[in-house]
Structure 1
Amino acid sequence: ISNLERLGLYLTISVNERFIDGNHFKENILNHMPLLNQFTFDIRSLMFINNQMNLPSNEDIQDTFTDFHYRKIISCVDYFVERKEGQCHIYSYPYSMVYYHDITNNFPGGLFKCVRQVSLYDEHPFEHDFFLRISQSFPFLDQLSLINHHAQNSKQFSKSMNNNQNLSIVKYSYLKILRIRQVHDDYIEEFLFHTKTYFENILLDVNYKALERVTENFTRDDTRINSAKINEIYLFGDVKYPRFLHDYFPFAKIH
């Protein structure tokens, strides 16, 4: 192993006291591989949090890579109070994986042409501008899943200003699968309003009652255009099949 010149390391790991950072790499890898000249990695470390003090910030993690000369290193640290978990995601950039999981509002941006699958999670709202950033950073995205139970703030502002027409439309040119089963109703609106989001021919995974509310019992004009672009729907929860459901999703196979 000491003669290794190239190394790729990709993992998700639970830790007890410290996130994986540059110091771990130096102590456990780099000091033992003097010939290493190419090191690519994508590591998410997860830590249970329960009133700990002095939890590291993103700046603390980034500082551990100050003398790391292989590639540009990106770090992103988040703490989730509701699920009592801390997350530290570190990776070498350019990014070569086909997936990028648990993106939060702290997403640092960049261009990820290899990524096809993205999941989003946060305990703070995702606003419309956030989805613009996601679509621009992942231009070839074909699978998107989202978990967020918190209402959008900007939606309330848009209502008061009556300015939905001034929003930039988020375009998902390659999206094929959209999973929004565990979300606040605002995010179903975010994707089904044609004034906010553009897609073609997708599979939709969604909670039935939430979909019923957002589409106003499958009569709402604002969500009708994008609903006609859905070719398959998986409905979850207490599902009913009113006779006009197929009229509202005319090209969808409904499960």
Structure 2
Amino acid sequence: MNRSVIYLLDLPNEILIHILSKLNNIDVLYSLFGIKNERLDSITRQKIYSNILNFASIIDKTTIIDRFCIDILPQISSNIKYLIVDSASMERILLASHYPNLNELKICNFRPKSLLHNLTDNPSFRYILKEQIIKLEFMNMDVIGEERSSKEYTKIVYAHILTYFEKLEHFSVGPRTMFGYPCLSICYLPLNACSSSVLTYLSINVRTFTDCLCLLDGRLKQLNTFIVQVYTMKTDLSLVHNLDALPNLKCFSFIYYGLIEVYDGQIVSLLRRMLYLEKLTLCIRISYQDAFIDPISLLNEFSLHMSRLKSFKFSISTENKKDDLVHYLSSNYIKRNSMNAGHEEVANIVCSLGMSVINNVFTIPFEFAKLVSIGNKFPNIIFNNVNELWVRDEVRFEHNFFLRIAQAFPLLKSLHVSDIERLRSDDDANKLSDNIQLHQIVVYPHLSFLSIDMEGTYYVEQFLNETKTHLPCLDQLNLSKYEDLRIVTNDFTREETRRNCANVRRLITGNEIVGSKDYHTYFPLV
């Protein structure tokens, strides 16, 4: 080529395909597909079909929905096997074309009142939902809190879906934390509620341990993977459950973040029914009176019944008195015991709380979304899955500790801070300064929820002073005392604390907030 200007279509196909491979599929479709150039249109199709036969896209911008629904989706719909859609645009997208190969559906911002029955009652969707969808996922569901609402939600959503989606084999509801998540509550519903003869994979939160038992009483006969998070270990002894063996269950994950004050072996009894389990994931917190739990000893309680168990990943936290601590908390002892049992590498975190101590033993990498009771000392591990963290200790947390937290928990969204030391509000550590400090600023890029369960200005200063900490996404702030906030912000006029407060939409304090003109300027979104 001797020309000084080379146009896109002057390039050979190999280079064009290489360029397109560097672009997001949505950008390719929106910008290049259907521009009435036969060569470029053919290359675009080749790129889309070769790289993403299971076409997936989150379509939530009104400005591009028309282009997708009118020009793009009808031309590629026969190749779409997987759709990720926002509930607000789902109905329009499904009506845009015929999807003969669509079998996986992920719905974001699910709102059952405005969506579920409209879809299932619409004859245009009936075949897709009843006969085609084998995998269904919900993300960011609406928030409910009352037990009555949870039972009602189970009837109108969970039970309805398992009945209506006749081919459904995989059903997952996320995210994997309890906050803002509608639980399944089935224990007082009819025996045929939430039943399916084809479902093999279920990932869900349930309200009680009894609800967990109900899901395993025979109504899901083909279930081989069950991932469950329990809100409370409450059981109703008046209910009689089918306690037969569960020969089809190959993968089981049980998560309970609350504190089990009386460990009565009901989890072990459940596990002993899983004769052919191959993968087990367990997260529990137990308050013991006399001993700490060795997770390998716990495994031995039921492993004799699990000859096929290949993987055991866990986080087992035991709270106890400090007596006889050395024998149970020796890291070398824990690692040696684990290696002798042939399982994954483990680590432990010890958190001292006055006369008691908490020992959390876990496999590496850490599998769970929430970590409770981490103290000043913790191993140099990156916790990539944790988005909710509770820190507390009998010794005050210094700046370097929070710097380590930011580095060790890169995806942290929720942080709860407390200690049991009585900090003096007038000591040198709490003197406010408008000068930039000689230390590295701690950055929490995703933190949206911060709770400081401690009176005094020390931690309020640590987090709100932008010369110490940067919180670009802080949405909710919980403080023990309104007066501490007023002092740290210098009656809501201090510039160094203004930026970290600017995005807060919800402010909760232990006493009444007396708003002023400067207060409302400081928190414009509250």
Query: 1:13 & 1:157 partners in 2: Cα distance?
Result: 36
Q: How far apart are 1:183 and its partner, in Å?
A: 4.8
Which residue, 170, 177, 183 being the options, matches 2:442? 170
Partner of 1:180: 452
**For 2:485, which of 211, 225, 239 is the aligned residue?**
211
The SS at the match of 1:165 is coil
State whether residues 399 and 462 of structure 2, in contact with CA within 8 Å, keep that contact through their aligned partners in structure 1. yes
TM-score for the superposition, normalised by structure 2? 0.43
Tell me by how many angstroms 1:33 deviates. Answer: 3.5
Contact preservation (8 Å) 2:351, 2:357: yes
For 1:164 and 1:156, locate their aligned partners in 2 and report how far apart those are by CA, in whole Å.
17
Any idea what SS the aligned residue of 1:20 has? coil
Percentage identity across paired residues of the two chains: 29
- Deviation of the 1:3 alpha carbon: 3.9
**What is the number of residues matched between the two proteins?**
244
Residue aligning to 2:403: 132
Q: Does 1:109 align with 2:380?
A: yes
Q: Do the aligned partners of 2:295 and 2:316 also contact (CA within 8 Å) in 1?
A: no
Q: 1:108 to 1:54 in 2, by over 3 A?
A: closer
CA positional deviation for 1:111: 1.3
Quote the residue 1:10 is aligned against. 283
Partner of 2:112: none
What is the alpha-carbon distance in structure 2 between the residues aligned to residue 234 and residue 108 of structure 1?
Answer: 33
Residue number in structure 2 paired with 1:226: 500
Q: CA deviation at 1:232?
A: 2.8
- C-alpha distance in 1 between matches for 2:482 and 2:473: 19
Q: Matched residues in 2 for 1:122 and 1:69: separation?
A: 33
1:100 aligns with 2:363: no
Q: Which range moves more in the overlay, 212-221 or 55-64?
A: 55-64
1:129 deviates by 1.1
More strand as a share of residues:
1
Q: Equivalent residue for 1:40?
A: 313
Q: Residue by residue, what CA displacement relative to the aligned partner does 1:36-93 show, whole Å, maximum 9, x if unpaired? A: 211111111112x2x7355543435445434243211011223321xx3221101111
2:377 is paired with a residue whose SS is coil
Q: Which residue of 2 aligns with 1:241?
A: 515
Q: CA deviation at 1:182?
A: 2.5
Q: CA separation in 2, counterparts of 1:54 and 1:180?
A: 29
- SS of 2:454 mapped into structure 1: strand
Q: Name the CA distance, whole Å, in 1 between partners of 2:430 and 2:356.
A: 33
2: CA distance, partners of 1:53 / 1:6 = 33
Q: Unaligned stretches of 5+ in structure 2?
A: 1-273
Q: Which has the higher helix share?
A: 2
Partner of 1:191: 463
Q: Would the aligned equivalents of 2:335 and 2:345 in 1 still touch at CA under 8 Å?
A: no
Aligned partner of 2:360 among 78, 82, 89: 89
What is the alpha-carbon distance in structure 2 between the residues aligned to residue 246 and residue 233 of structure 1? 12
Residue number among 8, 28, 45 corresponding to 2:301 in the alignment: 28
Which structure has more relative contact order (CA 8 Å, sep 6+)? It is 1
Whole-Å separation in 2 of the counterparts to 1:57 and 1:183: 32
SS of 2:340's equivalent in the other structure is coil
- Equivalent pair of 2:338/2:344 in contact (CA under 8 Å): no
In structure 2, what is the Cα distance between the partners aligned to 1:241 and 1:46?
41
Give the aligned residue type for 2:504.
I
Distance apart, 1:172 and its partner CA: 0.9
> What is the match of residue 58 of structure 2?
none
Counterpart amino acid of residue 506 in structure 2: E
> What pairs with 1:47-86 in structure 2 (closer than 5 Å)?
47=320, 49=321, 52=323, 56-59=328-331, 60-81=333-354, 84-86=355-357
Conservation of the 8 A alpha-carbon contact between 1:22 and 1:64: no
Deviation at 1:219, TM superposition (A): 2.6
Q: Point out the more displaced range, 235-244 or 195-204.
A: 235-244
Is 1:58–1:76's contact at 8 Å kept on the other side of the alignment? no
Take 1:173 and 1:54, find their aligned partners in 2: how far apart are those partners? 38
Q: Which runs of 5+ in 1 are unaligned?
A: none
Measure the CA separation in 2 of the matches of 1:58 and 1:200.
40
Q: Residue type of the partner of 2:513? A: V
1:114/1:140 contact within 8 Å kept = yes
Q: What is the CA deviation profile of residues 136-158 of structure 1, one whole-angstrom value per residue up to 9, with x for unaligned ones?
A: 11111111111125459xx9589
Distance 2:464 2:305 in 1: 53
Q: How many angstroms does 1:2 deviate by? A: 5.0
How far off is 1:130 after superposition? 0.9
Alpha carbons 1:177, 1:204 under 8 Å: kept: yes
